[in-house]
Structure formats: C-alpha cells, structure tokens
Amino acid sequence: MSPIWCSFPDISANAEAAFASSSSLFSLTTLEVTHDPGFPGFALTEKRQHDMWRWALVSAEGPVVDEGWEPTESDAKRSAVGAMRHVIAG
C-alpha cells in the first residue's frame, strides 16, 4: 500500500504542524509528510531547488534518523518510504 503524503498547509493538528516545520530546512511550501504505524515519527520531503529534493526520517523524539537527496520529488518520496520501511523491518 502506498503511503498518503500530506502537504504542510493541510496538516490539521497545530503540534504536528509545528513539529514538521521545525524539521524543515528549506521550504514549507513544498514540505510534505507521511506516517507509518510501525515507525515512531514521520518521513518528509521538501524542495531545495528545482532538481534537488531532500527526504528525511524524523523520530518522535525529534532528531533526524536518516536523510538524503534525490533529483525529483517522486524519487525523494520513494527513498523516504524505503528508508522508513527498512527501519521498521529492523
């Protein structure tokens, strides 16, 4: 099943929005997050420039667990989800 990504303006809970924005390094207008019940935190993607997208896994305690860069948004989302599933699988 493909994860559901939520753009920053669509995050309804104030605490969740604040947490996501504190993990962003570049652009809240391109920031998107997704969750998986098996991972205690969330994955995010955001655009740095037209051909550079950051993905990151952020733990529930706040620190970034893993991050990387991809040339497209879809590649960044795929990498973020893959990394999250790898952490879940142990």
On the question of pLDDT at 78 being above 80, the answer is: yes
- Any idea where the domains of the chain sit in the sequence? 6-89
Model pLDDT, residue 83:
95
Model pLDDT, residue 13:
86
* 36/86 Cα distance (integer angstroms): 12
Model pLDDT, residue 33:
95
What is the tens place of the pLDDT at every residue in 24-70? 988 899 999 999 999 999 999 999 998 999 999 999 988 899 999 99
Instruction: Kindly report the pTM of this predicted structure.
Output: 0.89
Phi and psi at 43, nearest 5°, equal: -110, 150
